[in-house]
Amino acid sequence: MLARGPWNPGDVEVAWRSEAYEPDAGTTAEADRLLAKLRDRGSPSHDGLAARLVDFRAADGKLELELQPIRWALRLLPENAGGSLSALCVVRSADGSWLAGRRAAWLASWSGRWALGAGGSVEVDENPTRTLQRELQEEWGVDPERLSIEALIQSPTGMIMLIGQAWLPDGASVTPDPEHDKFAWWPADPARWPAEADAPLRRMGAMLGEA
């Protein structure tokens, strides 16, 4: 855990560096190799620029992020994603249930695994709070009634994630995109989640359930 909110979307301030992150030659070669593996198995392998977290500050009710462009493929590295930043928007219904979707087998990451809500890469010059809302609309076709920014966390691979929690209006329905081959609403109490909820998802639910 790097920083814990919650913050309102308007309290997340972002400054972008103009220069892109430049890894060493060995890291670049490994990213190329992993990208080629994705192409070989027919997964999306379009490379481009995403966001890297350079620095952050959480104080006075605000979260300040300093970002720079980074090659998307670096997040494929299992031990050093270079501080690549993603945004994850956990989705709750009006009664507190959690939206879970199984990621399709053809995807580049987390294929065949269940995930909470919507997530994706932060585009260059984009505020990650906008990423949360964009991914929610693209993946599930809904807009939140309210949205809070819950935490900034770092995985063992060096990937950084900005976690948001979106609440849908009463009666809202979702329409999954092709990246999901199945979805379900899990109970409000994470202790009652089904067996397909793995340990990282349960830790996420426990953390956010306290919010």
Q: 93, 87 in Cβ contact below 8 A?
A: no
Mean of the pLDDT values across residues 126-141? 96
Q: Does domain 3-209 have CATH number 3.30.70.890?
A: no
**Residue 5: pLDDT over 90:** yes
What is 38-106 written as a DSSP string? HHHTT------EEEEEEEEEEETTEEEEEEEEEEGGGGG-SS--TTEEEEEEEEE-TTS-EEEEEEPTT
Mean of the pLDDT values across residues 92-100? 95
The token pair at 34 is 């992993």
Instruction: Please report, for the chain, the start and end positions of each structural domain, with discontinuous segments joined by +.
Output: 3-209
Look at the pTM and tell me if it is higher than 0.85. Answer: yes
Q: What is the per-residue pLDDT for 86?
A: 94
* pLDDT tens track for 75-85: 888 888 889 99
* pLDDT tens track for 26-64: 999 999 898 888 777 666 656 789 999 999 999 999 999
* pLDDT tens track for 147-193: 999 999 998 888 999 999 999 999 899 999 988 999 999 999 999 99
Q: What is the per-residue pLDDT for 211?
A: 56
* pLDDT tens track for 102-128: 988 777 677 788 999 999 999 999 999
Cα dist from 187 to 18, 175, 191, whole Å? 44, 19, 8
